[in-house]
Structure 1
């Protein structure tokens, strides 16, 4: 079981992770707001593509940005869930067995819900 000092350390780390995820989401949303002015993003003068490959590149970049956005949203949900477990005094306990999650695992992954051997089952 984690002591108060360890729990606070993880809470501080989770709050930092939350802030980073929120910043990533905000950055994505700000970039999407510029979508109305697509030529500003690409630097093109005309909206007519010079080459079909340019359209593929633009589509790939949008897809990549969407993936990063989804990852940031998922990370934010996991972090908020871990913070909720801290408030409920369930943080550091496996949701499957109720056993303590090893400190080393929480160090590596502060949002961990299960012990390593339970994840592999």
Structure 2
């Protein structure tokens, strides 16, 4: 089930993939740096507890954003692989076509809206 609009979706996915790869490359050592710096925070007794909490919060936020970017990249790679093997736009749960409007809104969609939250 190919639609000419998929070329545009592929282009968008590839652009987003490149941006995510650049962001992840910049933050390649982020998880290790955060683990190391959190340990350093625990040893700083002269800092105000509020400062420690703020610093810990910021580092956890950075780590969460890093993990989210990695997950997004995996979803994009999955969608591109489905485009290559001819299964893009087909619900992974039911085998039904995913509406084009949903794919435009969320090009990495694996399921129809009705089947998104089913187990």
TM-score relative to the length of structure 2:
0.80
Counterpart position of 2:100: 103
Per-residue CA distance 1:51-77 (angstroms, 9 max, x = gap): 222111111111000000010000000
CA RMSD of the aligned region, Å? 2.2
Runs of 5+ consecutive residues of structure 1 not aligned to the other structure: 39-46
Runs of 5+ consecutive residues of structure 2 not aligned to the other structure: 38-43
The answer (yes or no) to whether the contact 1:49–1:55 under 8 Å persists in 2 is: no
Q: 1:113 aligns with which of 107, 110, 113?
A: 110
TM-score relative to the length of structure 1:
0.78
Counterpart position of 1:42: none
Bigger RCO (CA 8 Å, 6+ sep):
1
The answer (yes or no) to whether the contact 1:93–1:113 under 8 Å persists in 2 is: yes
Q: Compared with structure 1, are the counterparts of its residues 117 and 18 closer, same or farther at alpha carbon in structure 2 (3 Å cutoff)?
A: same
Task: Select between 17-26 and 71-80 the one with higher mean Cα deviation.
Answer: 17-26
